Amino acid sequence: MALFDRFRSDSTKRTSKQVSGDAAEDDALAFLIKQGLVEVERNFRCKGGEIDLIMRERDTIVFVEVRKRSKSDFGGALASVTRTKQRRLIIAAQVYLQRYRMPPDCRFDVIGYDGEQMTWLKNAVEAISEAF
């Protein structure tokens, strides 16, 4: 890789925060696979938003948001999924689901990392909405 680094433009350089976020996604993906979920797609992007991981658990599509915070200040990683972020996740999921003639069951999960502590919140959009 170092051979090609000099040809890389400044816009392709990754910040330490981005690298840390990518590592958290890698860890979350490995964890979910160990839990029996199957990877469908990673970093699905559309005009309305982005979904970090799209997984399948039996007949259910699981949209996963991965959040990492170095500290749990201000509510931590899970609390950082605001209503605005939830709306973007839902829009992206709606766009993704358009590829199905009959959309499967689906849910939204969040995997949050506060420092090294990982929390998996299933049905997170519903759970977060109720918590706040």
The pTM of the whole model exceeds 0.95: no
**Residue 44 · residue 86 · CB < 8 Å:** no
The answer to whether position 27 is within a domain reads: no
Domain limits at 47? 38-131
The answer to whether position 92 is within a domain reads: yes
For the ranges 43-47, 55-59, 66-70, 109-113, the lowest mean pLDDT is seen at 66-70
The answer to whether position 109 is within a domain reads: yes
The answer to whether position 3 is within a domain reads: no
The answer to whether position 93 is within a domain reads: yes
Better-scored residue on pLDDT, 119 or 131: 119
Q: What is the per-residue pLDDT across 43-63, written as a single tens digit (0 to 9) for each?
A: 999 998 999 999 999 999 999
What CATH number does the domain containing 112 carry? 3.40.1350.10
Question: Which pLDDT does position 12 carry in this prediction?
Answer: 64
Better-scored residue on pLDDT, 130 or 101: 101
State how many domains the chain has: 1
The answer to whether position 64 is within a domain reads: yes
Q: What is the per-residue pLDDT across 3-19, written as a single tens digit (0 to 9) for each?
A: 555 555 555 677 876 77
